[in-house]
Each structure stands twice: as C-alpha cells, then as structure tokens.
Amino acid sequence: MSLIRLIFFTAIVAFMACQTPHQPKVKEEQKREVENPYSVNANKLKDAKAYCQQNGFNESIAFFSDMNLRSGKKRFFVVDLNKDSVLHAGLVAHGHCQSYASRVPSFSNEIGSNCTSLGKYKVGYKYNGSFGTAYKLYGLEATNSNAFDRFVVLHAHSCVPNSESVVGICRSEGCPTLSPEFLEKICDYLDHSKQSILLWVYND
C-alpha cells in the first residue's frame, strides 16, 4: 500500500511541476528596452553631445522634443547623454498657429504666430509666470531666434495629461507646455545643473 501511495505522490508532484509557467530568461538590455520604449535618434544624440561640449552646456543631460510624433504620444525626453538613454518621457503641447482646424503642428519663428519654433534652445532662468513655475528659453538658431521676444517659455498647464492619449492634447501659444507633474521632474535637473541645459525641438 505504501508503494502505491509513493507512486501516486510522485505522479502528483510531476503533474504540478508541469503546470508551473515557464519564465524565459530576459537579458538586461532587453528588459530595459521593454520597460522604457522611448529613444532619441542616434545622430541627434551625437550632434547634441558635440554642441554641448563646444558651447559650454551640460554634457550629461539634455532635453529633446520630437514634433514628428503626434501630441497624444510622449515626445518630450530627458536624456542621459553619457548612456544614450531616455530617463523620463512626457507629453508636450505644441503651438496652435492660430488655427484650430488641424492638430498637425506647423512651425514658425514669427512674432505673433503662436507656432512652435524648431531648433536648439538654451533653457534659461526660472521665474514665476502666469502659469506658475516657468523657464525662459533662448533660441539658438535662425528657426527660433525670436523665442525670447515671443515670450516662448518652458512651463506647465493642467490641460496636459500625464498619460498618453489616443486623441491629441491641448495646444499652446507656441510654448513647449508640459504637465505639472512632469515639469516637477524637469525642475530637478534644471535647478541643480551648474551649466545650462540644451533643449532641442525637431521634426525629422
């Protein structure tokens, strides 16, 4: 009788072992890729590193905003330039260009256009503006040279959500506008950086 019980017990253990789900081994690189699906073009990273080094910007952290992505996708990235990795990603509103018929962004450097301006920016000093905490932006290229005079600043607004959306989000007067929670993350980098941080807004 004891032999029958032993055989029965062994069969039960074998059956339960077969029911244990297989856990495939995932390489650390693959795990990071799954956890953080956001990335910035390698050529952009290379150019940004060179620009920061040549112009006295922070060489460890930079901000990128990919206007080629729709507004419901996270397209503002905090990037670790040493590891070529995206540390944080968030939603960002683009300028309405005085047209509410289309959610596809248009771009302009003209004063009064209310459009997003493409190009590299120096994130300047912090101040308390109409929408709370904000940072002045200085355009560094011909495509955004009027940014300061246009009052284009980095700030937050409650209309920008934290999570991605199937539909587009609100639009701004031309400012790169973040969610309040995401701006707090940005502040940690800006307020503790001894050098200016580069923001690059692009559409390619």
Domain boundaries, the chain: 41-202
What pLDDT sits at residue 5?
53
pLDDT digits (tens, 9 = 90+) for 6-18: 444 544 444 444 4
What pLDDT sits at residue 103?
73
pTM assigned to the model: 0.82
What pLDDT sits at residue 97?
94
Over the range 84-110, which residues count as b (16 or more CB within 10 Å of their CB) and which as e? Answer: ebbebbbbbbbbbbeeeeeeebebbbe
CA angle 180, 186, 191 (to 5 degrees): 115
* CATH code that applies to domain 41-202: 2.40.440.10
Computed over every residue of the chain, the mean pLDDT equals 87
